[in-house]
Amino acid sequence: MRTKVLVAGFATRHVVQSAYGAGCEVYAVDHFCDQDLSFYARESMRFDELGELFPAVEEMCTRHAPDIVVATSGAELLPSRDFCGTPPEKVQRFLDKLMTHRFFEDLGMRTPALLSPGTFPAMLKPRCGSGGWRNRVVTSAADREAWLAEFGDTPALAEEVVSGTPCSVCCVADGTRAVAVASNRQILRGAGDASFGYCGSVTPFRDRHHDHLIRSAERISAATGCIGTLGIDFIAGDELYAIEINPRFQATLDTIEMATGINLFSTHLAACRGYLPCQRPSCRQVAVRKILFADRDLTVDADLSLFSPLVSDIPWPGTAFEDGQAVISVFGWGATGQEATDLLHKHIRIVRQYMGGRLYG
């Protein structure tokens, strides 16, 4: 009998697809409910505001009685007796970037220094939230006031600005031990007000810090007390800086599975039951994912599912997007990073041409 799984969160397609690949019967509560979510989920329920998420989960649990419930971003604090992952009482600490910063300091990990008000330049970021869309380097009091005017009186912290490559390590943990699954380079927008916003990943990521990166991620993950999959974000420059902890499935899941050939959902379930991989998985190829964005207000009239599996997070025909909103993800892969990037750009050109050039990324 197949395990019945409910995946809940702001975006669930990647986890639902992995759970389907693991042989599970999958249901979803999701903000987007993209077309390809329906390829893998028996039923999905859409929500608009995060306040609607937990009631939707309750309704789906009543309707389908899942064996386990799994969280993605936005649902980390979901209270459920069938929850499979890090329990909410342990997650709370790592959803707050200030508390995470102090955790790194207590662990003796290098992390960007906290700055007092009026010290510039500074990386200003909200204490809660994911994706990096509101992170911004401010160089003056006027910049800081503009950030506050845009985002309201949001609890925030200011850190020293460190340079380097944004990267992450996906680990699985059993509460006391952890094993690194894959290292990833994070692709950021790189321009505009949302220049630190996440828009893709490359797996694997290797540079001179690689061994230190993997060991640091495993040490951090083991110390968190988290269970199942989690991700540690770093900046790899002249030094290696620990930045954030994501105590849930990460957006890098697609490229991790494509690069390693493992099923991350199965690995997560095993870790939740106390079984960690005997060794770190190796990568058999390089995989890259890039998110494309609308370059104006537009409506997707075409059925982009015909490009699957070159693409994912596929909008339904007739879906409207505002200028700058994420529309679709595109993939590339190959024996080397250059081969993977070349194939990615080829796939992006195909999708753009089909869309009349109305996407950028």
**Predicted confidence (pLDDT) per residue in 21-55, tens digit:** 999 999 999 999 999 999 999 999 999 999 999 99
pLDDT value of residue 162 = 97
pLDDT value of residue 192 = 80
Q: If DSSP codes are grouped into helix, strand and coil, which group holds residue 28? A: strand
pLDDT value of residue 359 = 84
DSSP letter for each residue of 144-191? HHHHHHHH-S--EEEE----SEEEEEEEEEESS-EEEEEEEEEEE--S
Phi, psi of 359 (to 5 degrees): -125, 150
**Predicted confidence (pLDDT) per residue in 152-174, tens digit:** 888 999 999 999 999 999 999 99
Sort residue 324 into left (φ over 0), alpha (ψ -120 to 50) or beta.
left
pLDDT value of residue 334 = 98
CA dist., res. 23 & res. 127, Å (int): 37
Confidence of residue 191 (pLDDT cuts 50, 70, 90): confident
**Predicted confidence (pLDDT) per residue in 222-259, tens digit:** 999 999 999 999 999 999 999 999 999 999 999 999 99
**Predicted confidence (pLDDT) per residue in 280-333, tens digit:** 999 999 999 999 999 999 999 999 999 999 999 999 999 999 999 999 999 999
Domain boundaries, the chain: 4-84, 91-99+162-272, 100-159, 286-360
CA dist., res. 77 & res. 73, Å (int): 10
With a cut of 90, say whether residue 344 has pLDDT above it. Answer: yes
Structural contact between residues 109 and 242, judged by C-beta atoms closer than 8 angstroms: yes
CATH code reported for the domain at 286-360: 3.90.600
DSSP letter for each residue of 247-269? -S--TTHHHHHHHH---HHHHHH
**288 contact partners, CB below 8 Å, separation of at least 6:** 187, 200, 201, 202, 203, 255, 331, 332, 333, 337, 340, 341, 344
**Predicted confidence (pLDDT) per residue in 119-131, tens digit:** 999 999 999 988 9
Neighbours of 282 (CB within 10 A): 11
Is the domain covering 91-99+162-272 a CATH 3.30.470.20 domain? yes
pLDDT value of residue 263 = 98
Number of H helices, E strands in the chain: 10, 18
| DSSP 8-state symbol, 44 | E
Q: Which two tokens stand for residue 264?
A: 């991350």
Peptide bond into 204 cis (omega under 30): yes
With a cut of 80, say whether residue 356 has pLDDT above it. Answer: no
Phi, psi of 342 (to 5 degrees): -60, -45
pLDDT value of residue 169 = 98
**Predicted confidence (pLDDT) per residue in 76-94, tens digit:** 999 877 899 999 999 999 9
Checking DSSP bridges between strand 359-360 and strand 286-294, what pairing results, if any? antiparallel
Find where tokens 């910049």 sit.
143
pLDDT value of residue 154 = 87
137-158: string of b/e by CB count within 10 Å (b at 16+)? ebeeeebbeebeeeeeeeebbb
Checking DSSP bridges between strand 68-71 and strand 4-9, what pairing results, if any? parallel
With a cut of 80, say whether residue 357 has pLDDT above it. Answer: no
Structural contact between residues 121 and 161, judged by C-beta atoms closer than 8 angstroms: yes
- Average pLDDT rounded to a whole number, residues 341-354: 95
CA dist., res. 47 & res. 35, Å (int): 15
pLDDT value of residue 81 = 73
C-alpha to C-alpha distances, 145 to 136, 138, 148, 150, nearest whole angstrom: 12, 9, 5, 9
Entry pTM: 0.97
- Average pLDDT rounded to a whole number, residues 335-357: 94
Alpha helix positions (H), the chain:
13-21, 37-40, 53-64, 88-95, 97-107, 141-151, 210-224, 253-260, 264-272, 337-354
pLDDT value of residue 190 = 85
CA dist., res. 342 & res. 21, Å (int): 27
Confidence of residue 12 (pLDDT cuts 50, 70, 90): very high
Separation of CA 302 from chain center? 27
In this structure, CATH architecture of domain 4-84:
3-Layer(aba) Sandwich (3.40)
